[in-house]
Chain A
Amino acid sequence: MMKQKHRKKEPLFRISKNGFVPLYKAWAIRIGALLLALVVCAFIIYSITKLNPLKVYGTMFQGAFGTNKRMWVTIRDTMMLLCIGLGLAPAFKMRFWNIGAEGQVLVGGIASAACMIYLRGKMSATAVLPIMFVCSMLAGAIWGFIPGYFKAKYGTNETLFTLMMNYIAIQLTSYFVALWENPYGSNTVGIINSRDKFGWFPPIFGQMYGLNVIIVLVLVVLIYVYLNYTKQGFEISVVGDSENTARYCGIDVKRVIIRTMIISGAICGIAGFLAVAGAGHTISVSTAGGRGFTTIIVAWMAKFNSFVMVLFSSLLVFLEKGAMEIASRYQLSDYVSNMIIGIILFFILGSEFFINFKVRLRQRFTKDKSQ
């Protein structure tokens, strides 16, 4: 028999799955990751720009919360992101990959803008807001219904379908921008009703964006209750986990898919309403501005828990505002601020790995315990 010459070292790392991790420990890991990200960023900032990293971080904070106005813009944008995230949550929980939030927001925005333009002078400024709300919700709902219907009836791929619906929405927006062009030749709609502010959100408690906050926070609670405590929310979870189980226990899977996509689209439509009536007061192809995609990160990181979503959308908007500020203050190129955002997101997303898995370094062979 051949003599064995075989003695390999153990591998350096060993990765094994973690069991149940208590909540406090998971959050400690996440916060640790955030701190670590800041440290790494500090080194990079210093080595590239020779600036004091602490000062840079301070500037980021200034950018997001420095003045009263800035703070409210940050809040406004957070609410917008959060609203779309709330729209995605029911669909994602059902494992329906709705990446069409962008389009659903746009059609909602078109509906709002149409109300502002065509209903002006026909009713009071307070009466038009509920109508705009309902119209944009309906527009978004239709945009969600279409892929939902085809998925339920013909089993089409929802990812491609919702993605393509985005392009239709963008083209539609271009059409309406051309239709409502103001002033002529500018190729934009301009600020709609800038004189009488018809269809604009009224200031609440002296704050321009007060209504945005109220609407979205109400939605946060509603979605949380809907997903966790209602029969329909329960059906969504079952369909998301296993369609066979859903069929087995008498859930009408097709109905659940269509209904959930109507809800998902409707909430994204409301986000369009917020963007037009509550923020930009105009409509353009960049009204959604890629937020329909950014929010996918928010919804996933929060694991579809609407309260946790508040946290992650705030973080993302804060990073964005802060990065913009340091870029302009220190005349850095956009890339530097994008790098910082990238590093921070990398660490936060990466921390999930350390929550789910255990990593152990190589151990030395223990001394042979000869009997």
Chain B
Amino acid sequence: MRKEPYLEQNVAIRMVDITKRFADVVANNKINLEIRFGEILALLGENGSGKTTLMNMLSGIYMQDSGAIYVKGERITIKDPHDAYSLHIGMIHQHFKLVEVLTAAENIILGLNETRLIDLKNVREQVKKICDRYGFVVDPDKKVYDMSVSEKQTLEIVKVLYRGADILILDEPTAVLTPQETDKLFVVMRNMKADGKSIVIITHKLHEVMEISDRVAVLRKGEYIGDVLTSQTDPQKLTDMMVGRSVTLNIDRPEPVNPKESLVVKNLGVKDINGVKKLENVSFTAYTGEILGIAGISGCGQKELLEAIAGLHKLEPGSSIMFYPRGNKEEGEDLAGQSPIDIKHKGVHLAFVPEDRLGMGLVGNMNIPDNIMLKCYDQGKSPFTNKKKPRQQAIEIIHDLEIVTPGLRTPIRRLSGGNVQKILVGREISSDPYLLMTAYAVRGLDINTSYTIYRLLNEQKKKGTAVIYVGEDLDVLLELCDRILVLCSGRVSGIVDGRTAKKEEVGLLMTHFKEETA
């Protein structure tokens, strides 16, 4: 028998020198991590630092290229999720893996390959036992499509507990939850810990790390940086570990200079293909030299609003979008009913960073110069494309925004999300826009890149551009924007001053309309 070197009392899992590559990208480089019994370990790192990849190797989604995994001191190979279950490892993924048309109980036993007849009654009893023990609320007969996001997540956790997991991995569990739901989840997590289970929570939210975890392990760009006891650290120290150098977590907000009306939207209405109202009676004004934030829970019309202004949606009759370049009243154009081609030919300098970067803003299979060329390829009378100018521009953008790319010929789908976003923002800004609209400009970006984007937006603001910023992080909106327009189910529920508004106030507007003033 081989001697097992890692048979230690309190170590549930030990990962040794784990390396995983995807094509040219090293997602995990020689990572060493231990998970102890009865602890909550926070796995902290920025987007793309390799947290999920590392945990996916424990749950059987991926296999490491090299390195070893020891579970309870024994060297094992986790080939597929079944292996993971038999080792009592369960992972709750960011994107739920549930069958919508089945009930909770059916989802729980799905894939267990039991040869006996399915005994749903027994399942229900066991589910109830688990729920009572840790304080869950799950209705075993409810169909998944009737469940809220938080209910689905609870079901996922019960599912892995039913399968006997005593090491639970939660991948960004709070990303989809409201603050109240997050509190409930944390209570349950503490109950499970008290029962001796080990829990790994993957996250990049520092206050959650401080609140729930016992120990923090930090990854950066696929490398293991180190671990600290939560009680001996603070958010600033953790940020420095995560980013690799000191970052100041402040966003600049210069005062708007000489604001003039730039975009006046009145009674804007949009229906989707099925005739469902996506926007109704939206009216607002954006000024030159200011950043207008747009807040709202996801899917309440932010995307449609920007796309409607860019000419990508059919508008309801009565909608009007008056655009005054640089606030100049004489050059006003009504953009309502104009297609993107019309808007382009009118010389309206409108820049738009859409939410779907590779599906709408850029072409993944093309290289950087060609993507820069997208917006200006049809200039000039020649039937041939002029690749010289975009090439020059590409070199400038790569240099100015510190884009990391193997070369000008590399298709941009091979680049990281942050670099792709920089290309998109760089291209839109380089057109010297009068109106700049951005949708979730920092989604999925690391702290550094996010701050670069904020800086670029502020530069545009200082130049006198009207900037519209759709965001999901209320803290950022309140720090960056001069005014914040709040959308609630396709209608404007309020416009607040970014300097004075409180987070709670905006949060309330996101879900409720203000009482009509009599």
Contacts and interface: CB of A to CB of B under 8 A. Distances in A.
Nearest to B341: A250
B83 A248 contact: no
B23 A19 contact: yes
B184 to A, nearest CB: 28
B172 interface: no
Given A4-B87, A245-B361, A248-B310, A231 B341 contact: no
Interface in B333-376: 339-341, 343-344, 352, 354, 356, 358-366, 370, 373-375
Contacts of B383: 230-232
A344 interface: no
Contacts of B373: 234
B312 interface: yes
B74 A4 contact: yes
The size bracket of the interface on B is: 35 or more
15 contacts: A1-B166, A6-B83, A7-B74, A7-B76, A8-B76, A229-B385, A231-B377, A235-B377, A237-B370, A238-B363, A241-B365, A242-B359, A242-B363, A249-B374, A365-B68
Contacts, number: 115
Contacts of A244: 356, 359-360
Contacts of A10: 63, 77, 79
Interface in B393-418: 406, 410, 414
Interface string A349-371: 00000000000000001101011
B75 A365 contact: yes
B24 interface: yes
Most buried by A among B25, B75, B363, B370: B363
A20 B63 contact: no
Interface centre among B340, B352, B406, by most chain A C-beta atoms within 10 angstroms, is B340
Query: Which of A9, A14, A229, A238 has most chain B Cβ within 10 Å?
Result: A238
A6 B21 CA distance: 26
Interface in B436-453: none
A225 to B, nearest CB: 8
B11 to A, nearest CB: 14
Binding site secondary structure of chain B: loop
Contacts of A230: 383-385
Contact of B406 (A9, A20, A251): A20
A270 B321 CA distance: 50
B77 A9 contact: yes
B209 to A, nearest CB: 29
A247 B384 CA distance: 21
B363 A245 contact: yes
Nearest to B358: A242
A248 B341 contact: no
A70 interface: no
7 A-B pairs with the lowest CB-CB distances in the bound complex, closest first: A19-B24, A19-B23, A370-B5, A250-B344, A250-B340, A250-B341, A244-B360
Contacts of A1: 166
A332 B352 CA distance: 66
A252 interface: yes
B23 A18 contact: yes
A230 B72 CA distance: 63
A186 interface: no
A370 B17 CA distance: 12
Interface in B75-108: 75-77, 79, 83, 86-87
A119 to B, nearest CB: 33
A245 B360 contact: yes
A16 interface: yes
Contacts of B364: 241-242
A237 B24 contact: no
B384 A229 contact: yes
Given A7-B75, A365-B68, A368-B5, A237 B366 contact: yes
Contacts of B366: 237-238, 241
A80 B65 CA distance: 48
A229 B363 CA distance: 17
A17 interface: yes
A11 interface: yes
Interface string A1-34: 1001011111100101111100000000000000
